């Protein structure tokens, strides 16, 4: 039995329905939710994504520092010899080396941090002198030079976060054991010689009550290590996107090309699906209906038995009813009828039909265009389906708000997390549909959850939003 969605709208003045007990499956998921969260939190520092980010934090400085030195030396020598024929070639080689270093940094960031950076458009020209001229006049090349010179500074914070979170955290956890081998000698004033494993501001942490503080601090550091590494790596990721990614114009052109191709593919796939559904379902039923009507006509002309005639008519009526149901199901997949009453009503229906409890909060002051309403509806349906199929969530929440400029949809679930945009996931297809209207999709899904997906759909400039209601 579907649960009613919890919305912010005031309930009608009718008697409230009687409360029903939660199904056993939902109750079991709710009961085991704290256990799953604790288990996920304990495993998070050593999850594959966390270890990949750890490896990226260790490798990035090793590449950044020598690369910056080589690029700087190449630029310096090329500038000094710029009055000779060799100088411009050295400058071009330095720019080309910065581009190669940037490609390597982008590849590492995409594979290890899970945030790929698209390559910037580059100039090219035939011939050796054309190659040199293209490199020296390429903005992407000089942006790569700036990225190479700044990378040693942005790769240092993640390395410090790894040292603090993982290295010092593990050492603090192992302090009760390490203090027997890793210690220093203290000579007291009375001549007593003692071995101390940890001394901070004159306070020793080797005795039983005190080393538990060290162990607790180490456990906290290890548990927070993935977040520390991610926060510390934010400047480096921003640097890669700003200087090694495509410019605003290149990104706009590429987005338009991709969205146009996706729109064509999506339209073709929709037509194929409609054709397949009509051929396999409705068409077969209509053919059967035609044959039964022919049989009814023959029975009427021969004055056949009344019972046989009624049975044939009943069968034909059933086929007609099923054909109508198939057509309604087909139309619902193209444009849900609930959208005719507005996005809020359609989302309330979707939440009520979901197999898990869904809390709905809607604040739409200006109704968007039908195209945006349809995209928002199917995004909510896909995100809720992902929460049910892949995350093992016990409950979800949908929030939609819209003003006269944009529509914002947020779907949150308490599942296991780990959702990533890309790598052939369902979120990639969702992003393609959203980008056809210049929308954006962000997904925050740390291991252990929760997962929060946010869809932002701007209103077209030529569209005049009207107040909802």
Mean pLDDT split into 10-residue runs, the chain, 469 residues: 42 42 51 70 86 94 94 94 90 93 92 82 82 87 94 96 93 81 72 70 70 87 93 94 82 69 65 66 70 76 74 78 70 67 86 87 84 86 84 87 87 84 68 82 82 88 54
pLDDT given for residue 240 in this prediction = 93
* Closest of 400, 398, 413 to residue 456, by C-alpha: 400
Q: Confirm whether pTM is higher than 0.85.
A: no
Beta-carbon count within 10 A of 117 CB: 22
pLDDT of residue 235: 95
Q: How far apart are CA 234 and CA 399, in angstroms?
A: 27
442 Cβ contact partners less than 8 Å away, ≥ 6 residues apart:
453, 454, 456
- pLDDT, position 101: 94
SS3 449: coil
pLDDT score, position 294:
80
What is the helix, strand, coil percentage profile of the chain, to 5? 65, 10, 25
Backbone angles phi, psi at 6, to 5 degrees: -95, 115
Specify the pLDDT at position 4.
Answer: 45
| pLDDT score for 159 | 95
Long-range contact set of residues 423-430: C-beta below 8 Å, sequence gap at least 24: 426/382, 426/386, 427/386, 427/453, 430/379, 430/382, 430/383
């Amino acid at each position: 039995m579907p649960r009613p969605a919890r919305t912010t709208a005031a309930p009608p003045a009718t008697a409230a329905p009687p409360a029903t007990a939660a199904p056993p499956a939902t109750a079991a998921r709710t009961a085991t939710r704290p256990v799953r969260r604790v288990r996920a939190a304990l495993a998070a520092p050593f999850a594959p994504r966390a270890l990949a980010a750890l490896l990226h934090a260790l490798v990035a400085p090793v590449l950044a520092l020598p690369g910056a030195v080589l690029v700087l030396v190449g630029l310096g020598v090329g500038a000094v010899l710029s009055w000779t024929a060799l100088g411009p070639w050295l400058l071009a080689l330095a720019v080309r080396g910065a581009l190669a270093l940037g490609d390597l940094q982008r590849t590492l960031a995409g594979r290890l941090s899970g945030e790929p950076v698209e390559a910037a458009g580059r100039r090219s020209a035939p011939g050796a002198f054309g190659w040199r001229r293209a490199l020296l006049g390429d903005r992407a090349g000089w942006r790569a030079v700036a990225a190479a010179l700044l990378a040693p500074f942005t790769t240092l914070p993640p390395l410090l976060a790894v040292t603090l979170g993982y290295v010092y955290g593990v050492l603090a956890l192992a302090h009760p054991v390490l203090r027997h081998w890793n210690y220093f000698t203290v000579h007291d004033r009375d001549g007593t010689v003692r071995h101390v494993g940890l001394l901070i501001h004159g306070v020793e942490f080797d005795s039983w009550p005190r080393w538990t503080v060290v162990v607790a601090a180490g456990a906290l550091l290890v548990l927070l290590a993935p977040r520390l590494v991610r926060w510390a790596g934010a400047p480096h990721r921003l640097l890669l996107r700003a200087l090694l990614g495509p410019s605003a114009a290149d990104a706009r052109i590429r987005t338009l090309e991709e969205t146009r191709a996706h729109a064509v593919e999506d339209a073709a796939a929709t037509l194929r699906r409609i054709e397949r559904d009509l051929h396999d379902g409705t068409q077969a039923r209509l053919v059967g209906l035609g044959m039964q009507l022919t049989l009814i006509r023959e029975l009427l002309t021969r004055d056949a038995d009344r019972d046989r005639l009624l049975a044939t008519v009943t069968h034909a009526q059933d086929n007609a009813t099923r054909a109508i149901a198939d057509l309604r199901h087909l139309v619902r997949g193209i444009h849900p009828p609930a959208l005719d009453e507005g996005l809020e009503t359609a989302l309330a229906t979707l939440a009520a039909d979901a197999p898990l409890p869904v809390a709905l909060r809607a604040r739409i002051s200006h109704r968007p265009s039908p195209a945006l309403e349809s995209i928002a509806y199917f995004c909510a349906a896909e995100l809720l389906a992902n929460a049910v199929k892949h995350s093992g969530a016990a409950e979800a929440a949908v929030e939609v708000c819209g003003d006269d400029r944009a529509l914002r949809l947020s779907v949150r679930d308490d599942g296991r997390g780990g959702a990533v945009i890309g790598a052939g996931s369902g979120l990639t297809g969702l992003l393609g549909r959203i980008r056809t209207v210049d929308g954006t999709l962000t997904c925050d899904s740390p291991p252990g959850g929760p997962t929060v997906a946010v869809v932002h759909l701007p209103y077209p400039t030529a569209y005049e939003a009207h107040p909802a209601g």
